[in-house]
């Protein structure tokens, strides 16, 4: 049995954007709400992690940051370091944190071995302590052939097969199975649980700029997540308002903290000329803006999709298709199921298409009309999974961390809950 309060270490693969950090934060918040005696540490590299609020039981350790140059290509934020030195520093911090914090559960987000393999040593060490090693995957990673090649190249298949006790998939197979077609073993399949999507709740907005808070007029919210690759979408929306004064609903545009400064300055200048457009650079708590919106125009990232579902908002999704097809696959499936409308940026030169899409948002069908069971069951399922792990307790050092009969039965019940 558990002899102390549970400890959970979360590795947030946040080399670019906000998605991984925000997903880790939602899970941490849900777990301490459910089990207030739980202590959680989040290891993150995001430069904006300090802008987010955390409950007292949740803290974070920020490792030195990187800049993403392309798919699986990174450079240190600090130009005085090589990427090799930076990876070694990050790896050492993560491992020392694991040794001292001594978690009962280590939840690794997305990358089985972390950026450039930086959590490999921590996984190997924690395997000897009886810590439960869990890989958390979003609903869609990439098209199967590309993901299989990437996992082979990084040694991820061996890590998932030999190190991890569980795989939590934050979605439903009705939308996508990220393990399908990549060649994982039946053994890994048996460890995988589809949790459902992670619901979001309204929370205090903090200090929003006066221009965003003024007035109660209806608006659509335009969001690009972190904003690093959202310039095309923002430009398309601005051109729609610049060329058409009969859209009939205002736009509030959140640029995101990682949008290139030249683009952001140009968009702010253009926005000031438009009476029907407000712009804000960054809102750590974007939920209040979503809750009050008539609908959303957004890219197709995982967190934004969860927010669309959680607040039951009609949405137009404009997915990116490079460097991964993740957003396109999600948006395509969402449109097929009646959860959202998709526009492709092939049509970005036609401002009228975006104007028509925004104009139609207030009368567009809402996601709940699709009536997909357990769509937002993620938080409840993860709580049940953690309860089962804590109830089982940690094996003595040197003993197997394999799943007991009791835990297997609990896992079966959770899988049945998530899929029914």
pLDDT tens-digit readout, 159-210:
999 999 999 999 999 999 999 999 999 999 999 999 999 998 755 444 444 4
Note the pLDDT of residue 127. 96
Q: Could you tell me which residues are beta bridge partners of residue 317? A: 298, 342
Under the banding of pLDDT at 50, 70 and 90, the label for residue 21 is: confident
Residue 297 CA: distances (Å) to CA of 125, 223, 225, 305, 326: 44, 7, 11, 11, 18
What's the pLDDT score for residue 72? 66
How high is the mean pLDDT of the chain? 88
Per the DSSP assignment, residues forming a β-bridge with 56 are: none
The number of beta carbons lying within 10 Å of the beta carbon of residue 183 is 12
Taking the CB of residue 414, how many other CB atoms lie within 10 A of it?
22
Confidence of residue 241 (pLDDT cuts 50, 70, 90): very high
Which whole number is the average pLDDT over 1-13?
A: 85
The rounded Cα 403 to chain-centroid distance in angstroms is 28
15 or 324, greater pLDDT: 324
**Which pLDDT belongs to residue 414?**
38
78: pLDDT strictly greater than 90 = no
* pLDDT for 216 beyond 90: no
Nearest residue to 393 (alpha-carbon basis) of 193, 188, 77, 132: 132
Burial of 232 (0-12, 13-18, 19+ CB in 10 A): middle
pTM value is 0.88
- Asked if pLDDT for residue 239 goes beyond 80, the answer is yes
Which spans in 257-369 are helix H? 261-272, 287-291, 302-310, 326-336, 351-360
Asked if 182 and 144 touch (Cβ cutoff 8 Å), the reply is: yes
Residue 112 is classified by DSSP as: T
pLDDT for 56 = 95
How many Cα atoms are found within 13 Å in the side-chain-facing hemisphere of 224? 26
Nearest to 47 by CA among 303, 267, 230, 226: 226
């Amino acid at each position: 049995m558990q002899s102390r309060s549970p400890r959970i270490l979360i590795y947030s693969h946040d080399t670019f954007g906000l998605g991984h950090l925000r997903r880790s934060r939602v899970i941490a918040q849900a777990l301490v709400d459910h089990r207030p005696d739980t202590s959680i540490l989040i290891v993150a590299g995001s430069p904006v992690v300090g802008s987010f609020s955390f409950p007292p039981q949740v803290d974070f350790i920020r490792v030195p940051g990187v800049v993403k140059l392309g798919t699986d290509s990174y450079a240190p934020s600090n130009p005085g370091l090589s990427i090799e030195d930076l990876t070694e520093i990050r790896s050492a911090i993560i491992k020392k944190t694991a040794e001292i914090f001594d978690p009962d559960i280590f939840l690794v987000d997305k990358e089985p071995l972390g950026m450039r393999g930086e959590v490999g040593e921590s996984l190997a060490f924690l395997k000897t302590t009886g810590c439960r090693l869990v890989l958390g995957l979003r609903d869609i990673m990439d098209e199967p052939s590309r993901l299989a090649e990437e996992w082979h190249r990084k040694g991820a298949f061996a890590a998932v097969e030999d190190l991890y006790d569980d795989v939590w998939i934050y979605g439903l197979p009705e939308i996508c199975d990220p393990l399908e077609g990549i060649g994982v073993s039946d053994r890994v399949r048996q460890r995988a649980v589809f949790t459902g999507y992670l619901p979001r709740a309204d929370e205090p907005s903090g200090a929003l700029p006066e221009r965003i808070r003024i007035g109660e007029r209806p608006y659509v919210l335009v969001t690009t997540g972190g904003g690093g690759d959202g310039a095309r979408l923002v430009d398309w929306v601005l051109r729609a308002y610049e060329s058409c004064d009969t859209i009939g609903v205002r736009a509030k545009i959140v640029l995101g903290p990682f949008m290139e400064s030249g683009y952001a300055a140009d968009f702010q200048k253009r926005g000031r000329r438009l009476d029907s457009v407000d712009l804000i650079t960054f809102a750590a708590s974007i939920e209040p803006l979503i809750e009050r919106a008539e609908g959303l125009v957004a890219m197709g990232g995982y967190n934004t999709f969860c927010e669309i579902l959680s607040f039951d908002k009609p949405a137009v999704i404009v997915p990116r298709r490079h460097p991964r097809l993740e957003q396109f696959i999600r948006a395509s499936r969402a449109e097929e199921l009646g959860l959202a409308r998709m526009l492709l940026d092939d049509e970005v030169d036609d401002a009228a298409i975006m104007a028509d899409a925004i104009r139609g948002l207030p009368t567009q069908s809402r996601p709940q009309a699709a009536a997909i069971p357990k769509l937002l069951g993620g938080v409840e399922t993860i709580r049940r999974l953690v309860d089962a792990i804590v109830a089982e307790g940690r094996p003595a050092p040197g003993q197997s961390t394999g799943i007991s009969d009791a835990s297997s039965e609990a896992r079966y019940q959770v899988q049945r809950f998530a899929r029914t």
